[in-house]
Amino acid sequence: MSITERLARLGEVKAPASLLPAVLAAVVGDQYGLVSEEVWPIWVAWNRDGISAVMRADENDEAAFTGRFREQFGRPLRRAESVPASLRRSRRYDLREQTPFERLVLLKTAQIPRGEVRTYSWVAREIGRPAAVRAVGTALANNPIPVIIPCHRVIRTDGVIGNYGAGGTEAKKEILAAEGVDPALMERLARERVRFFGSRTTRIFCLPTCRHARRVLPRYQLEFHSEGEARAKGFRPCKVCRPAVAA
């Protein structure tokens, strides 16, 4: 078959329907749209690598979001007709602008279950950098994808709920409460310096919001102020919430 005949045949081949969106995504870059969350609406930007930016929509208008995006990332951004329903389920994030350390912090934070909280020191230990507690806090303060990467589920090492870049402490309490965390209980535990809950029946100690700790009936529950106190009474750390390094 001659080259001319081959080219003619190629011209008869129709491109698959999925090709145009893929080409547009590569050329256009990031798209964005409005998503209604259970607490606040949010602007969400994404590209072929995943979600790239999020900002609350109730305190900032659309122009503020697009302006901040272009200032931070320097990439083109266009409004999409709709936000793909599968985007949140994909758990894919575009963190190319973050340092390797920041990516570790954010991806570990993304694993914290809904309705539970962890501390900055927990995140630092989980990523193998136990002394980098302050750096973990800085990385989360600069989280480009708040709400979706749930930095609101990370609290101070002393148990205090702490500040939140998307609206301050009260906003953090609001979103935690919507997810099933009791802010009043968290504040009480912080005041009384309670760090862990233990079960008299299993002899296991957990972080207070761990789903296993929340199943323990009050008459079987103990409160511990430190890992040392829990271990001294014969309790071992939960393998799910990992409140301490296993002995």
Q: Report, as residue numbers or ranges, the catalytic residues.
A: 151
Nearest-angstrom CA–CA distance, 172 and 154: 10
Nearest-angstrom CA–CA distance, 240 and 108: 14
DSSP the chain: --HHHHHHHHHHPPPPTTHHHHHHHHHH-EEEEEEE-SSSEEEEEEETTEEEEEEESSSS-HHHHHHHHHHHH---EEE-SS--THHHHHT-B--TTS-HHHHHHHHHHTTSPTT--EEHHHHHHHTT-TT-HHHHHHHHHT-SSTTTS-GGGEE-TTS-----TTTHHHHHHHHHHHTT--HHHHHHHHHTT--EEEETTT-EEE-TT-TTGGGS-GGGEEEESSHHHHHHTT-EE-TTT--S---
Q: How far is CA 161 from CA 35, 149, 187, 205, 241, in A?
A: 26, 17, 7, 21, 18
